[in-house]
Amino acid sequence: MLCQKDLLGIRDLEVSQIMSVIELAKDMKSIVVGSKDKLSILKNKSIVTLFYENSTRTRLAFTMAGMYLGANVTDLGVATSSVQKGETLADTGITLDRMGIDYMIIRHSMSGASHLLAKNVKASVINAGDGANEHPTQALLDLYTIYEKKGGFKDLKVTIVGDIAHSRVARSNIFGLVKLGAHVTLAGPGTLTAKTMEALGCEVTTDIKKAVRDADVVMGLRIQMERQKGGLFPNLREYSQLYGLDEEMFSYARPEAILMHPAPVNRGVELMPELLDSSVSVIDEQVTNGVAVRMALLTQLHEGRTKR
Ligand code: CP
């Protein structure tokens, strides 16, 4: 059970907390793909999404999750808000707090933004991605998807390929997967991976074939041009020739291996279309699971708030 005010990262979660969200997400998924019943767990509660960076999946999954739980869900609309007049993040948060908002879901380009907000508000804060630091709810839905497909984590080989250096998804997944007993291998060009990440308990290599060989799970990552200062690889065509995942490369993985990606995908860059659209891909299921996992998370934070 997540008996805490906020969810800011996977780094500080215990295995039992991660598993409790995964277990509850199973029940929530039956609503998302089946009955579509509206629950009253968050009746009379309010959720605001504050997205200082673009999003389709995360913002809408939280919106759907809140609606299924009976909450009132509003988007701040950062681009048309007083943020554009220079209002600070802390002042925005305090303003929302005074309106009685219960949950604030924040995405921001600055690492630590969700921590700053959480320190300044009474509401529960959920980190929906902060710079290159963490994207904990993406990792929770990824972990749930792996659990659903593989039945556990112990000794699974999970290979993450691509722009590791700029990836908050990779960092949150590494924290979770290593805690849960999986073997994590990171692969990409030397400029987008760092040997120092081995300190997090994973293997780092520039040899993609070695990384994919015998993997149970292969996770591609988006090349994040918006976070790169330039010059990290010659051009996208060369990147895709050397590090793009295609069916031939995927054939080195285990026969029952699954392909994951947090999306959005740069088709033809990090994933070739024939692999992306094949039966090994669980990317669409990750999207569905994202709603169920966020329902589970909001429910647990709510139960934690009522017990505190
Ligand atoms: N995976 C993910 O965070 O997608 P969005 O940017 O669309 O939210």
Average pLDDT, the chain: 95
146 and 266: one domain? yes
CATH of the domain at 183: 3.40.50.1370
Which residue has tokens 């996992």? 293
248 and 167: one domain? yes
Give a yes or no: residue 10 inside a domain.
no
Atom from ligand 1 closest to the CA of residue 61: 8
Give a yes or no: residue 7 inside a domain.
no
Give a yes or no: residue 4 inside a domain.
no
What is the span of the domain harbouring residue 27? 15-134+287-307
> Would you say the C-alpha torsion 143, 288, 132, 266 has a positive or negative sign?
positive
Residue 59 CA, ligand 1 centroid: distance in Å = 8
247 and 123: one domain? no
Residue nearest to atom 5 of ligand 1 (CA): 55
What's the total number of domains in the chain? 2
Q: Would you say residue 231 has pLDDT above 70?
A: no
DSSP string, 98-163: HTT--EEEEEESSTTHHHHHHHH-SSEEEEEEETTTB-HHHHHHHHHHHHHHHS--TT-EEEEES-
Query: Using a 6 Å cutoff on CB, does residue 56 contact ligand 1?
Result: yes
122 and 175: one domain? no
| Predicted confidence (pLDDT) per residue in 187-203, tens digit | 999 888 889 999 999 99
Query: Using a 6 Å cutoff on CB, does residue 136 contact ligand 1?
Result: no
What is the distance between the alpha carbons of residues 10 and 273, in angstroms, rounded to a whole number?
31
| Predicted confidence (pLDDT) per residue in 7-62, tens digit | 999 999 999 999 999 999 999 999 999 999 999 999 999 999 999 999 999 999 99
142 and 214: one domain? yes
| Predicted confidence (pLDDT) per residue in 124-170, tens digit | 999 999 999 999 999 999 999 999 999 999 999 999 999 898 899 99
Query: Using a 6 Å cutoff on CB, does residue 177 contact ligand 1?
Result: no
Lowest-pLDDT choice from 72-76, 183-187, 196-200, 232-236: 232-236
- Nearest residue to 275 (alpha-carbon basis) of 256, 263, 259: 259
Percent above pLDDT 70 for the chain: 97
Q: Would you say residue 289 has pLDDT above 90?
A: yes
User: 74 forms bridges with which residues in the sheet?
Assistant: 48
Per-residue pLDDT, 230: 65
Per-residue pLDDT, 55: 98
Tell me the best of 60, 138, 144, 260 to mutate to test the pocket of ligand 1, counting ligand atoms within 8 Å of each CB and taking the most.
138
CB hemisphere CA count around 34 (13 angstroms): 8
Residue 303 CA, ligand 1 centroid: distance in Å = 27
69 and 203: one domain? no
* Mean pLDDT confidence for 257-264: 98
103 and 231: one domain? no
Q: Is the pTM of this model over 0.75?
A: yes
151 and 266: one domain? yes
